[in-house]
Amino acid sequence: MIPELGHYALVLALALALAQAIVPLIGVKTGDPTLIAVAKPTALAQLLFVGLSFAALTASYVVSDFSVENVTQNSHSAMPLVYKITSVWGNHEGSMLLWVLILAMFGAALAVLGRNVPAALHAAVLSVQAIVATAFYLFILLTSNPFARLPQPPFEGRDLNPILQDIGLAIHPPLLYVGYVGFSVTFSFAAAALLIGRIDAAWARWVRPWTLVAWIFLTLGIAMGSYWAYYELGWGGWWFWDPVENASLMPWLAGTALLHSALVMEKREALKVWTILLAILTFSLSLIGTFLVRSGVLTSVHSFATDPARGVFILGILVVFIGGSLTLFAWRAPMLRQGGLFAPVSREGSLVFNNLFLTTACATVFVGTLYPLALEALTGAKISVGAPFFNMTFGPLMVPVMIAVPFGPLLAWKRGDLLGVAQRLLVAAAIALLALVATFALKGGSVVAPLGIGLAVFVIMGAATDLAERIGLFRMPVGTVLRRAVGLPRSAWGTAVAHAGLGVMLLGIVGESQWNIERIAAMKAGDVATVGRYELVFDGLDQREGPNFRELAVRFSVREGGIKIATLSPAKRAFTHREMATTEAALMRHGFSQLYVSLGDLNPDGSVAVRAYDKPLVLLIWIGTLVMSIGGALSLSDRRLRVGAPRPSKAKLGLQPAE
């Protein structure tokens, strides 16, 4: 009964979405306030019914109702409750249900929070949002019904993929989806603005908080996924340029560019057309990400059972939304009025610079990810484009961006003084140079690492300089400085913190990629392996039985300078049910660095293959992304965004075409 209710609730949500997609748009065209008013309640009711549907599926998982095929395929009655719940989205059908649930949440939030937005635009935005929702409801109901029943329910479920039996599944997909789906709001705003044919600085102000929310969650989602892959897969890597990772990086790059260009539009009314295009592209890339991951075009952990009907359906969704919105853009964008003027060297100019490089970098990731697919479709040749490609293209494009980051916030709007800014950054540059020289003197080796560290320190110190300049640090009395610090808009704090986070992340990336020490050895009891500054002593080997797996665990002592500092116990688990093995790496933190130990095979002679890494500064990669997100959150909490845009003056309103 419960699954049928869930199914029915989803059908009702589809009906509501259809109404919400069509009725308010007619209202906008005819100027009928009654029809326009339909948008809000339908958006709220949609959330109610999708929520019911999601709750029904969750209930089926919690009670282990194996008459539901989806539960049978992905759950087991012996699993802990938390994994039973996370299993709901640990599969294709359930993850799509989570997708529409989050979409409905954003729809409802838009309905409630959009009070400042003019009624017509608000209704049109909700309409576009409902069109997106309709497509995904149809996709779920027609090709991926999570509530399908089995005629003969089995006694026990097939268990969840062991790799997914981890707390990471509770965190990573929901965060990532909030990020992906959040950009649907920006997309809806862009499409609605094009439909209505009017766009101004206020538009950017309404859109920016939604973009920020999506960006914060996407940043956290990508970082969480990276850390999960790092500790769960046992290879010690944190970014593999895997197509699925690229699928999440592309909307992030475009979204970051959007965040910056919307700033120009909000403050200076320039870059309107470009910002609209970016809003469309960002969500398009989110959709392409979903397509790449879900359609089975790419084979990876994320690709589900490859049902051609699903692939074709998602391709259809892509064509309709990307093609449709770009057509709308080509048709309506030329009607938008030109914005404010600015000199190439100015705050606007620096943000254009940022956009230029971020979108170009995004394009290179796009090429690297899709070129193998295109080549195979055209010539049949199969190639793999791996990390070297991205290191040779994405890497060089990021360097100018990093160098420019400290300059941007210090430049004045309209016309900036590059020389003056350079002078103000002298201290930051001197500290960076000092870090560079110190790194070179202490570590030696290739010049890449010192240059990278120097650049990272420059970015961090640049952010500090920006703050110091704004609050008048060292220039004014302490009282004034404090007053200015308190009075400084949160968005200024947010910018500085997010930029500093970028530098911190770069520190981690340089440390991990340049000074990583790897040691692989076959070890027996009593053997000692040296990894960087540590000695790893093989104390003993245990074979244990877990609830649904057999476990081979090795006890290691870690010694530094002859003194025992820790014990580590990595393990390898063999899951009998799915005939799969997982690697449980053991991690030891020291400062921002980690010692990483994982196991390979047990050899016939009783030795165990051991893989150990000393990873200097590796934690800074994720700490940096966390700091970036905090910066985003600070900016989001800025009063000016919450209060909303000032209403355009009446005189100006009178001049607008009454469309």
Partner 1 sequence: MTRKQRRFALIAGGVAVLAVAVGLVLNALNDSIVFFNSPTDVVEKKVQTGTRLRIGGLVAPGSVVRGDDLNVRFQVTDGNNTIGVAYKGILPDLFREGQGVIAEGVLDTGGVKADSVLAKHDEKYMPREVADALKKQGHWQSDYDKGQAGAPAPGPQSSAERPAATATGAATR
Shortest Cβ 632–partner 1 spacing (Å): 20
Question: Quick one: which of 64, 113, 153, 235 contacts partner 1 (CB under 8 A)?
Answer: 235
For position 293 contacting partner 1 by CB under 8 A, the verdict is yes
Q: Kindly tell me which residue out of 377, 381, 441, 486 binds partner 1, with binding defined by CB under 8 A.
A: 381
Terminal CA-CA length for the chain: 49
- The least distance separating partner 1 from the CB of residue 28, rounded to whole angstroms, comes to 34
Q: Interacting stretch for partner 1, rule CB under 8 A, among 147-155, 242-250, 259-267, 467-475?
A: 242-250
Min dist CB 368 to partner 1, Å, is 8
388: Cβ contacts below 8 Å, ≥ 6 apart: none
Applying CB under 8 A, among 427, 566, 588, 609 the residue interacting with partner 1 is 609
Which among 241, 243, 246, 250 has a CA at the least distance from the CA of 376?
Answer: 243
Among 393, 439, 593, 629, binds partner 1 (CB under 8 A): 393
Separation between Cα atoms, residue 217 and residue 199, nearest integer Å: 27
Query: Is residue 51 exposed (0-12), middle (13-18) or buried (19+ Cβ within 10 Å)?
Result: middle
* Piece in contact with partner 1 (CB under 8 A), picked from 134-142, 240-248, 427-435, 473-481: 240-248
Residue with token string 């309905």: 111
Residue 392 binding partner 1, by CB under 8 A: yes
> Among residue numbers 500 through 539, which ones bind partner 1 (CB under 8 A)?
518, 520-522
The torsion defined by the Cα of 118, 120, 124 and 129, in degrees rounded to 10, comes to 40
CB-CB contact of 236 with 247 (8 Å): no
Instruction: Indicate whether 82 belongs to the interface with partner 1 (CB under 8 A).
Output: no
3-class SS at 406?
A: coil
Q: Which of residues 8-67 bind partner 1 (CB under 8 A)?
A: none
Q: What angle do CA 130, 217, 94 make, to 5 degrees?
A: 55
CB of 322 to partner 1, least distance (A): 21
Binding mask 88-127 for partner 1 (x = CB under 8 A): -xxxx--x--------------------------------
Contact between 545 and partner 1 by CB under 8 A: the answer reads no
Q: Smaller CB distance to partner 1: residue 381 or 478? A: 381
Residue 172 in contact with partner 1, rule: CB under 8 A: yes
Q: Decide whether 211 or 248 has the Cβ nearer to partner 1.
A: 248
Which residues from 395-434 bind partner 1, rule CB under 8 A? 396-397
Asked whether position 360 contacts partner 1 by CB under 8 A, the answer is yes
Stretch that binds partner 1, among 57-65, 225-233, 459-467, 633-641 (CB under 8 A): 225-233
Q: Which of 205, 346, 182 is nearest to 263 (CA)?
A: 205
Looking at residue 522, what DSSP letter applies?
E
The tally of CA atoms less than 13 A away on the side-chain side of residue 6 is 23
Which is closer to partner 1, CB of 545 or CB of 579?
A: 579
Q: Which residues of 491-508 are buried (b: 16+ CB within 10 A; e: fewer)?
A: bbbbbbbbbbbbbbbbbb
The answer to whether residue 581 forms part of the interface with partner 1 (CB under 8 A) is yes
Task: Please give the residues from 320 up to 349 whose contact with partner 1 meets the rule CB under 8 A.
Answer: 341-344
Residue 27 or 236 with smaller CB distance to partner 1: 236
3-state class (DSSP) for residue 317: helix
Residue 594 CA to residue 592 CA, distance in Å, equals: 7
Q: Does 579 bind partner 1 (CB under 8 A)?
A: yes
Residues 6+ apart with CB under 8 A from 552: 541, 542, 543, 571, 572, 573, 574, 599, 602, 608
CB of 211 to partner 1, least distance (A): 22
Instruction: Report how many residues bind partner 1 under the rule CB under 8 A.
Output: 86
Per the structure block, which two tokens stand in for 32?
Answer: 């009928």
Instruction: Give yes or no for residue 164 binding partner 1 (CB under 8 A).
Output: yes
Helices (H), 144-200: 168-196
Token readout for 63 is 């009670």
Closer Cβ to partner 1, 159 or 535, answer by number? 159
Considering the complex, state which of residue 123 and residue 281 has its C-beta at the smaller distance from partner 1.
281
Burial 345-356 (b: 16+ CB within 10 A, else e): bbbbbbbbbbbe
Among 299, 327, 423, 567, binds partner 1 (CB under 8 A): 299
CB closer to partner 1 out of 98 and 432: 98
The rounded distance, in Å, linking the Cα atoms of 171 and 89 is 11
Smallest separation, CB 641 to partner 1 (Å): 28
The residue within the footprint of partner 1, chosen from 2, 52, 59, 158 (CB under 8 A), is: 158
Which one of 80, 323, 324, 386 is in contact with partner 1 (CB under 8 A)? 386
- Closest among 41, 70, 40 to 53, alpha carbons compared: 70
Q: Which stretch binds partner 1 (CB under 8 A): 108-116, 138-146, 302-310, 631-639?
A: 302-310
Which CB, 55 or 397, lies closer to partner 1?
A: 397
Binding residues among 263-292 for partner 1 as defined by CB under 8 A: none
371 contributes a contact to partner 1 by CB under 8 A: yes
Distance, CA of 478 to CA of 474 (rounded, Å):
8
Helices (H), 37-167: 39-62, 69-74, 81-86, 92-113, 119-143
Contact 608, 522 (CB under 8 A): yes
Q: Taking the complex as a whole, how short is the minimal distance between the CB of residue 66 and partner 1, in angstroms?
A: 14
Name which position in 225, 339, 450, 624 contacts partner 1 (CB under 8 A). Answer: 225
C-beta closer to partner 1: residue 483 or 533: 533
Task: Measure Cα distances from 520 to 300, 540, 584 in Å.
Answer: 26, 18, 16
Is 340 or 489 the residue whose CB approaches partner 1 more closely? 340
Which residues make Cβ contacts (< 8 Å) with residue 66, sequence separation at least 6? Answer: 72, 75, 150, 153, 154, 155, 156, 157
How far is the CA of 116 from the CAs of 54, 120, 189, 233, in angstroms? 31, 12, 14, 47
Pick 548 or 637: Cβ nearer partner 1: 548
